[in-house]
Amino acid sequence: MKYRLAIIFPILLLSACKVDQELGLTEESRTPIQNENPSNCPLWKAGDRVNITENTTLPSGCNYDRVSFEISASNLTFDCNNATLNGLGKTKRNAFFLPYKKDESPLLAAFFIRGSENNFIENVTIKNCIITLYVNGINVDFLLNEATHNDLKNKINVTSLEEHLRTISPKNIEVQNTQIVANHKTGIYLQRYITDFKLKNSTIKANDVGIYLESGTRNNLISHSTFTKNGETTYDINTRKRTLRIKKREAIAIDSSAYNTITDNQFINNAGGAIFLYKNCYENYEDASSLPRFQHSSFNIIKNNIFSDEPKGVWIASRQSRDMDNFNCGDPIVYATEDNKKKYYQDFSRSNQVINNVFDGVKKSILIEDDDNIISNNTFSGESRNDVSIGTEIRQKYLNHPVTGTTLENNIFDSTATPHVRIIYGATENTFNNNKPAISLAESIQEE
């Protein structure tokens, strides 16, 4: 294994460095870009966190290094007017495993949109920005009171409490026509219970995770945007070090998030894949700040998107068969090996719809590891190992619960995959209608 890693690691380094080169992130240092600003630009300096309380449009030609903006008021628009906001102050990221100096490390976010139980905010728009080299591009935050946090931690009146929190979380936050590129962690992070967020006409490129939808979020819209080259590297804010990902990440993480619509986007060459749906296993549960996840990643609609050159397209219940030993999970264990070095937990992602999408040259287009999902009117083409895979190993073996109730209808299979549909680990009660070519149940079953 050591020999194998010795071979793989330099390959990963070259791959990740190539991303930096393609993005033009090769300049070691430069004069701060705000020094070149026109005289009518606001005089913000590196390290400032600017409180925005009213509509703001930057004059043409304004750009800023290491400046953040905090928005905690309603009914306002921040128009960058094509300004570049750089969270690092240079365009060359540190080499892997070389820590940034504390006063030169990337700022936490370009925008903090910050609501709380004591401060309801709504109708905030950010548009026409170029956001790069922060830790996260945009954080949409919802701060919980200590008593609320404790009730969630102790699982007290969870259903009614979560419903209440969704009514007072930030609403109608919108990001338009914005480039979010090469941030060290997440492009856009929606904290718990955010609802009715919208992303439109934007580019999310070369971040760790492109967009992260946290536990309890609902009814968010991601549309007419492009996601590419996300998921290759990550960053630790404590050590201030960039690291390579052995386990690559996806463009959109739907983590215990429901009733979202992802439509009319393009997903191209993301490192781990395009869209993964899962319920977090209550990671790091012993940490006082960590909270259980109660909601499942269900009732999401993924439609009218184009997926190309992806290792995986849509993965439903992506952690159902994944070893989660290193995640220190608080959920009940489904199965652990005798040496306790591998642990598996049940994942929940049901009643989602994947409809009217194009999968072209995707190695594994759709993987289904939970029940009652609908796959319809999609087109599969190009080089592919699997178009649709239905079934899951650990849950079937140790809970005697194979995947059930998948509907597969009106799809066009024109890829190189053989067979186009794989039914594995006893997946049952599937409904196949009007697929072209017609899918033969007998030819599709491949037990593993």
Per residue, what are the HEC states of 257-315? CECCEEECCEEECCCCEEEEEECCCCCCCCCCCCCCCCCCCCCCEEECCEEECCCEEEE
Which residues pair with residue 239 across a beta bridge? none
Mean pLDDT of 76-93: 95
Distance CA 225, CA 109 (A): 21
Residues 6+ positions from 139 with CB-CB distance below 8 Å: 108, 109, 111, 112, 113, 114, 189, 191
Distance CA 92, CA 98 (A): 13
Tell me the three state secondary structure of residue 20. helix
Binning pLDDT at 50, 70 and 90, where does residue 211 land? very high
Contact in structure between 93 and 20 (CB atoms under 8 Å): yes
Inform me whether the pLDDT recorded for 86 exceeds 80: yes
Give the residue from 40, 43, 52, 110 showing the smallest Cα distance to 77.
Answer: 52
Which residues pair with residue 266 across a beta bridge? 226, 306
Mean pLDDT of 295-317: 98
Mean pLDDT of 84-90: 95
Residue 83: what are its φ and ψ, rounded to 5°? -70, 150
Q: How far is CA 411 from CA 95, 298, 357, 367, 408, in A?
A: 45, 22, 10, 15, 7
Inform me whether the pLDDT recorded for 422 exceeds 90: yes
Please state, rounded to an integer, the average pLDDT across all residues of the chain. Answer: 94
Task: State whether CATH 2.160.20 applies to domain 29-444.
Answer: yes
Three-state SS string across 39-53, please?
CCCCCCCCCCEEEEC
Residue 412: what are its φ and ψ, rounded to 5°? -115, 120
Binning pLDDT at 50, 70 and 90, where does residue 428 land? very high
pLDDT at 352: 98
Inform me whether the pLDDT recorded for 2 exceeds 50: no
State pLDDT tens for residues 112-126. Answer: 999 999 999 999 999
pLDDT at 1: 45
Preceding amide of 292 cis, omega within 30 = no
Preceding amide of 419 cis, omega within 30 = yes
Mean pLDDT of 380-386: 97
Binning pLDDT at 50, 70 and 90, where does residue 22 land? confident
Inform me whether the pLDDT recorded for 143 exceeds 80: yes
Of 201 and 23, the structure prediction assigns the larger pLDDT to: 201
Mean pLDDT of 249-257: 98
State pLDDT tens for residues 159-207. Answer: 999 999 999 999 999 999 999 999 999 999 999 999 999 999 999 999 9
Inform me whether the pLDDT recorded for 259 exceeds 50: yes
Domain ranges within the chain, ordered by starting residue: 29-444
State pLDDT tens for residues 277-290. Answer: 999 999 999 999 99
Residue 14: what are its φ and ψ, rounded to 5°? -65, -40
Pair type for strands 233-236 and 241-244:
antiparallel
Q: What is the pTM of this model?
A: 0.95
